[in-house]
Chain A
């Protein structure tokens, strides 16, 4: 048989895709979004705490942040998800019942935080020391100067790397299927895999892949647009190309420069 034809039929069988589409849309997509968005929020908050702890002058903050990062960045994501999801399951059972999502989200967040922490830290450390000095000279405390002046600038510099991590997170969200999902808890990948297993045709998996692309590609562009806007100010801002000091009409510029 013609191998190209086989390939086409295995991955591009429209009927198989059409069959899987409703569940992808009504079950898989909402679940993937729930996992990814929750873990992105929690992971970013934890990552920021790690970043600030990582540049602290107190070694009791710096060391734990370092060790945490090394451990959670170094373990395979699947292993961490199993460790957290299975290891804490008895505890989770008491708090949330048998739903594996809370622990799955927690595990995804803890992994993401390790990477995001390093991303934020490098951004924060790239902000010139003169910015901190400028803020301190105005009377800002160290913490307030970090919050208002340093961190906003640092984070903006690493937005592309942060998006990389969010994309990885969206894809890694498929790994929660290790924790055992009932039909209504399945996310995109799992649904695709189930259809592939029952029909022997991989087209539903390809459809799941298209869903991932539909999430990740626009995300990149949205953040790039935000990035550009933050860099250059609001589009409405007046053009300020003309750079001149000639409009200076200071009474009695008695300074008389020595030059």
Chain B
């Protein structure tokens, strides 16, 4: 799994604020991911993790603050073009149920990248091969298990050769026995040098794969550091309380 290693970028989130009406979801969140690094974002539900992720590729526009790729603000870019450089994988997979697996992966290549059909299919088959699902190319997503669907979703995002991958609780909707396969794909991707931000409840994954673990609570990153520091020597009492609950 060596997708896009050479084009990886560093990622920085700076003082991002966002409110939905009176509900202040992000209150000055900061996050740093080195080039080719993996940041795992942990924290209680409602802490703003998923929203933070969506401000990075501007599915949600922040009220204030900035997101930098290799030091350059993404807010000046065309959001549609930006999202082709930032792959995203969702909790509910968000595959298109009315298309075959292969079509799901080729769609953006054909419609946005304007690649010829054969080229798009070749790229898609190669990506599906990497996630172990080449044999399912002609199936509809609904005929696949959750784990298989999520691996298709990863292949779909990787087909566009993104510089950054975002994972929003990618294994939370999966049956326990299917989690491992998806995490395996993600770990391979991380070790292949992809810059990744992973919102997760999988503490084992965060401990083993992440370069940085960031703990979010009430819309801010309260504490961030190497996994060992965060898990063994948490400073903030709220983080210690959270870890006591989940570990």
Contacts and interface: CB of A to CB of B under 8 A. Distances in A.
Nearest to A156: B98
Interface stretch (B22-30, B64-72, B179-187, B235-243): B179-187
B177 A245 contact: yes
Nearest to B145: A243
B100 A248 contact: no
Contacts of A230: 98
Given A138-B107, A248-B181, A243 B132 contact: no
B84 interface: yes
Interface in A121-162: 130-131, 133-141, 144, 148-149, 152-153, 156
B144 interface: yes
Interface residues of A, number: 40
Interface in A201-242: 230, 232-233, 237-238, 240-241
A255 interface: yes
B14 interface: no
A254 B136 contact: no
Contacts of B160: 138-139
A249 B151 CA distance: 13
Contacts of A76: none
B139 interface: yes
Contacts of B196: none
21 contacts: A134-B95, A136-B59, A136-B83, A137-B57, A137-B87, A138-B84, A144-B112, A148-B111, A233-B139, A241-B143, A244-B145, A249-B132, A250-B184, A252-B184, A252-B188, A254-B208, A255-B187, A256-B183, A257-B183, A257-B204, A259-B179
Interface of A: 130-131, 133-141, 144, 148-149, 152-153, 156, 230, 232-233, 237-238, 240-241, 243-245, 247-259
Interface of B: 57, 59, 80-81, 83-84, 87-88, 90, 92, 94-98, 100, 107-108, 111-112, 132, 135-136, 138-140, 143-145, 147-148, 156-157, 160, 171, 176-181, 183-188, 191, 202-209
